[in-house]
Structure 1
């Protein structure tokens, strides 16, 4: 089954409005199939989960289906799928639960490359428990974070390492399995932020060997919320704050209040949509892997065109040259503040925002301060015309 981007684009109402969207790293556009699934859930009659009424059974089925969909997307056990309001909340919830097992002298490792949602929760949890925070540094010129840089910060007192699976600022994809091996040699846990990675490549949590992996469906065509997965046995050992009458079962123990059924229905639809992009394999996991491999090939080709085109524009400076990355370009234009580039492109119908995108530590280390630069990220629906419009717009702004 071939990858037909023209056909794919017809499923996205927003793409019919004449705008070229390069802000996928902040959230993708939504296909009508996802919106329809969410509307159907809200209009079909639901209640709290149960087994007596049709509405209760419908709510239960929505939750079970969404867990299985995420398990098929990430290659994990559906019993280990926890739904949260956001990936930020997931990191806070897990950090607070884990911090109950930390004590003074323990060490937590974070990296300068990460989104602040995978830095600040760990720092704050460490401060509350008396643990020490150590920083793994990345190379500011290339944007690379090596496994050795993480290994250098490990010790026998390390309890947890938090690292991005792909930088939302510059696209760097660290070698997570190698980092996991180093972390596990010390007996520590690894929390991988996969928010920016999941939309661009097949993910196999078991192969990554991360103990926790988080992502956000709104980065891959779904609604706004967060997901964090782990082995069910690992979840069993954690005791989060919860209401007394609420379920103590895993994974429900970590899900506060009634789940948003319409959002979970949309998440299942988003996974189903991804799986059908370029595959007709008999099982959904197989379709996910095949389709995301096709997405990767599609985006790599367009990204090479984008990077070559940006390099040819006088006054444009590209930031970061990681060898292995998502299709995410960070750049600035000489003499033109990033905000003005952003506004100039928007007037031309091209959405490529500027800022640090919450990767504040990374922006500072790369010499971009608290203002950052312009980011252009590709999505599965990006086509060649989008790329040409962006390059023409940057050239016009640069003049």
Structure 2
């Protein structure tokens, strides 16, 4: 059963405003079940951790349930492999500091120019602190795909770590992790995956990928502002944690420093409940394929993300057609419709003679929300030669968007082009 837009959109209160939200790569709108969980937490179980009274005990149950829910979403082996934090950036800065204690002067780590800066600079800073070499891996500017040959050459240096994205937040490219991770492990490297841009668009299975760490932020997949890290339990257990003395000495608590954003974590639980509903309602056709590998909530979540991915293939094709039809538009990244499965529906472009902020502002006046600039993918805009020119305009669809909205985007872009030509 294909996704029904009217049913889906009713689960997102912000969509009732009439605006067209194509700023999703920077943050999606929040689902009603997450909002209800946040409100319920703050009104019935708002307390600190570990108390000998009802609201504290209820709070701890909710936090435990949220860890279990995210373990199911990532298909982690156990809830203790899930670490909550403020966001992906903060979690990565925290883990990079811990991992760097295991590095020695003269070691090498690998980062890529296709990544968000949050999966680059924390590692570069840690490397500087420890006297470690940073090896950069390039991407192909012509289509926005990672240079796997360059990565293979980098891995010949036997690095301690590979930091790599699941999907580019600027160009939408999905990296071939199934190929990359075994290569990195064979070279002796740990693999840290930034899944922030991918998490809203397809199923994640950390055990099948074999990654050592994977991190995403729930505000990028229909939840509140919260970061969620997966780490292999043996690694989390053995790593030194920068924490205060009374904090737990075992994961995940040793890395969840201070009092957490409990209501936000409750909202993450609500987000997973929404996705579970979606999988049960619209993902039945994937049950036969997935049921040998997943059961219960894990199955329903994989059904949900499989249904979302299939629907978004249509959106990607429609968005690609729209953008290709606009006179004077330069599209960056994969533009071959035969390679839709190698990208998420996140597209970056420039219009001839127009600054990206000018284009984004013109669309904003028509209640079509898009991003401009570098979106913290600084290495991408520098490599493409557009950083000093205002970066690019970025549009990104998710499963609550419709093909009609994408047509309205195209109509608005045509008006912008005509207006510029008339001046």
Tell me which interval the TM-score lies in, with the shorter structure as reference length.
Answer: over 0.9
C-alpha offsets along residues 206-265 of structure 1, whole Å, 9 cap, x if unaligned? 112211000000001111011110111110110111111111121100011112211111
Q: Distance in 2 between matches of 1:250 and 1:291?
A: 29
Alignment partner, residue 304 of structure 1: 317
Give the SS at the match of 2:163: strand
Residue-pair matches, total: 399
In the alignment, is the contact (CA less than 8 A) between 2:75 and 2:206 conserved in 1?
Answer: yes
In the alignment, is the contact (CA less than 8 A) between 2:137 and 2:147 conserved in 1?
Answer: no
Shift of 1:52: 3.0
Q: Distance in 2 between matches of 1:72 and 1:177?
A: 20
Give the SS at the match of 2:203: coil
> What RMSD over aligned residues (CA atoms) do the two structures have, in Å?
1.4
Give the SS at the match of 2:170: coil
C-alpha offsets along residues 346-378 of structure 1, whole Å, 9 cap, x if unaligned? 011100121110000011112222421111100
Q: Distance in 1 between matches of 2:264 and 2:414?
A: 40
Alignment partner, residue 71 of structure 1: 71
User: Which consecutive unaligned segments of at least 5 residues does structure 2 have?
Assistant: 285-294, 419-423
Q: Distance in 2 between matches of 1:45 and 1:122?
A: 38
Shift of 1:53: 1.6
Alignment partner, residue 4 of structure 1: 4
In the alignment, is the contact (CA less than 8 A) between 2:348 and 2:392 conserved in 1?
Answer: yes
Q: Distance in 1 between matches of 2:318 and 2:399?
A: 15
Give the SS at the match of 1:11: coil
Q: Distance in 1 between matches of 2:126 and 2:320?
A: 39
Alignment partner, residue 343 of structure 1: 361
In the alignment, is the contact (CA less than 8 A) between 2:109 and 2:133 conserved in 1?
Answer: yes
In the alignment, is the contact (CA less than 8 A) between 2:26 and 2:371 conserved in 1?
Answer: no
Q: Distance in 1 between matches of 2:302 and 2:228?
A: 19
Q: Distance in 1 between matches of 2:165 and 2:107?
A: 22
Q: Distance in 2 between matches of 1:148 and 1:236?
A: 34
Q: Which runs of 4+ in 1 moved over 4 A?
A: none
In the alignment, is the contact (CA less than 8 A) between 2:316 and 2:344 conserved in 1?
Answer: no
Q: Distance in 2 between matches of 1:212 and 1:92?
A: 13
C-alpha offsets along residues 18-54 of structure 1, whole Å, 9 cap, x if unaligned? 1000011111011222111101100003322236321
TM-score, with length taken from structure 1 = 0.97
Q: Distance in 2 between matches of 1:45 and 1:235?
A: 29
User: Which consecutive unaligned segments of at least 5 residues does structure 1 have?
Assistant: none
Shift of 1:155: 3.5
In the alignment, is the contact (CA less than 8 A) between 1:46 and 1:56 conserved in 2?
Answer: yes
Map 1:128-277 onto structure 2 (within 5 A). Answer: 128-155=129-156, 157-277=158-278
Does residue 398 of structure 1 match 2:417?
A: yes
TM-score, with length taken from structure 2 = 0.92
Shift of 1:326: 0.6
Higher helix share: 2
C-alpha offsets along residues 327-348 of structure 1, whole Å, 9 cap, x if unaligned? 1111111111111110010011
Q: Distance in 2 between matches of 1:374 and 1:274?
A: 29
In the alignment, is the contact (CA less than 8 A) between 2:75 and 2:204 conserved in 1?
Answer: yes
Alignment partner, residue 386 of structure 1: 405
In the alignment, is the contact (CA less than 8 A) between 1:146 and 1:175 conserved in 2?
Answer: no
